[in-house]
């Protein structure tokens, strides 16, 4: 029987995804703001921060999934 992802997407995972989405949305706002100002360095910096947050959320979801299914 396959793993039920509905069980994994419970409390901590939902909070993790929500926080990641809010942070990414704020960084997207600043990225477009800096793009309007023609500040290329800050655009690249915010893009890198969005990537770091995405990787962190993915690793957090993997950790939560492994922790719940290892029991």
Is residue 51 situated within a structural domain? yes
Instruction: Tell me the percentage of the chain whose pLDDT exceeds 70.
Output: 86
Domain count for the chain, please give it.
1
Distance CA 47, CA 8 (A): 29
For the stretch 16-32, pLDDT in tens is 889 999 999 999 999 99
Answer whether 53's CB lies under 8 Å from 23's CB. yes
Is 70 part of any domain? no
Band the pLDDT of 1: cuts 50, 70, 90. Answer: very low
Q: What is the pTM of this model?
A: 0.78
Q: Please check whether residue 31 lies inside any domain of the structure.
A: yes
- pLDDT higher than threshold 90 for residue 7: no
Within-domain flag for 33: yes
What is the extent of the structural domain holding 59? 25-65
Residue 6 lies in a domain: no
Whether pLDDT at 69 is above 80:
no
Examine residue 43 and state whether it is found in any structural domain, yes or no: yes
In a domain, 16, yes or no: no
């Amino acid at each position: 029987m396959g793993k039920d992802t509905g069980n994994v997407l419970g409390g901590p995972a939902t909070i993790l995804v929500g926080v990641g989405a809010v942070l990414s949305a704020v960084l997207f706002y600043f990225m477009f703001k800096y793009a309007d100002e023609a500040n290329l360095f800050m655009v690249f910096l915010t893009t890198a921060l969005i990537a770091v947050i995405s990787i962190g959320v993915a690793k957090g979801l993997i950790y939560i999934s492994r922790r719940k299914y290892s029991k």
